[in-house]
């Protein structure tokens, strides 16, 4: 099977390699300890824990911002450290039980800081973005659970290609803006910019289906217990991406008023 998700943790390569090693362990052992295998309930619990950690950390920088403190350092530092932890987990998934909570903690500092900045300029935008993210997550989960959306190989290919295209566009635009001092088309509140934001949100939402599918595969293939943290971390990355994109879209729409 091909690489299935934009999240480095939820790649089929990583899940498949663990499936092979797990199968070898089961073949050699007569007694199987099912408490050491990945479960859906366990992954849900880990996701909830990461969400609470992220929210708690976000409240710290949020409180700092609205009490006149400088949040630039904790926000940027949180984003950088969170990204580093993501890279480490991609290559060492067995360390996910330690790295995933760390990611949620530092990413929460970033989310709290950027949310406070948007809220100060556009009052009420954060609650709207949170609500939009939650509704999108629940709708996608329902569509996946009741099989209204089937994650086929063609579906995966389209979503992955679109995700990579978005990442490439963002990177090139950012570098070009530094070198040539121009404003990328996705900046501002023009119709083109708003259209790009809507497109990115749709792709981010479609990535949720890939994440759900990979977690389900992990459970079916009896992955090791640490893969619960691995899968939960991957899902959190997609949700954070979706939330930030909703913030940006709502800011563009609010600035047009």
Tell me the per-residue pLDDT of 136-170, one tens digit each, with 9 for 90 and over.
999 999 999 998 999 999 999 999 999 999 999 98
70 phi and psi angles, rounded to 5 deg: -80, 120
Q: What share of the chain is helix, strand, coil (3-state, %, to 5)?
A: 80, 0, 20
**pLDDT higher than threshold 90 for residue 248:** yes
Share of the chain above pLDDT 90, in %: 74
| Alpha-carbon Rg for the chain in angstroms | 19
User: 147: buried, middle or exposed (CB in 10 Å: 19+, 13-18, 0-12)?
Assistant: exposed
Angle, in degrees to the nearest 10, between helices 153-180 and 191-220: 140
**pLDDT higher than threshold 50 for residue 26:** no
Q: What is the average per-residue pLDDT within 238-245?
A: 97
Please state the domain extents for the chain.
Answer: 12-255
């Amino acid at each position: 099977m091909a690489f299935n998700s934009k999240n480095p943790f939820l790649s089929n390569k990583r899940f498949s390699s663990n499936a092979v090693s797990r199968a070898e362990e089961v073949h050699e052992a007569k007694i199987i300890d099912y408490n050491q295998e990945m479960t859906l309930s366990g992954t849900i619990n880990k996701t909830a824990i990461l969400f609470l950690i992220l929210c708690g950390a976000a409240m710290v920088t949020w409180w700092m911002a609205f009490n006149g403190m400088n949040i630039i350092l904790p926000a940027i530092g949180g984003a950088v450290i969170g990204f580093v932890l993501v890279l480490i987990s991609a290559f060492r998934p067995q360390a996910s039980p330690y790295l995933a909570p760390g990611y949620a903690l530092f990413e929460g500092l970033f989310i709290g800081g950027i949310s406070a900045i948007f809220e100060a300029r556009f009052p009420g935008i954060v609650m709207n973005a949170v609500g939009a993210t939650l509704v999108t997550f629940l709708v996608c989960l329902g569509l996946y659970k009741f099989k209204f959306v089937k994650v086929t190989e063609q579906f995966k290919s389209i979503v992955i290609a679109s995700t990579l295209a978005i990442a490439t566009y963002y990177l090139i635009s950012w570098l070009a803006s530094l070198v040539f001092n121009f404003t990328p088309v996705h900046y501002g509140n023009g119709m083109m910019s708003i259209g790009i934001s809507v497109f990115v949100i749709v792709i981010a939402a479609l990535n949720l289906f890939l994440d759900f599918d990979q977690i389900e595969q992990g459970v079916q293939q009896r992955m090791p217990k640490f893969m619960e943290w691995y899968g939960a971390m991957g899902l959190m990355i997609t949700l954070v991406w979706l939330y930030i994109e909703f913030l940006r879209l709502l800011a563009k729409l609010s600035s047009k008023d």
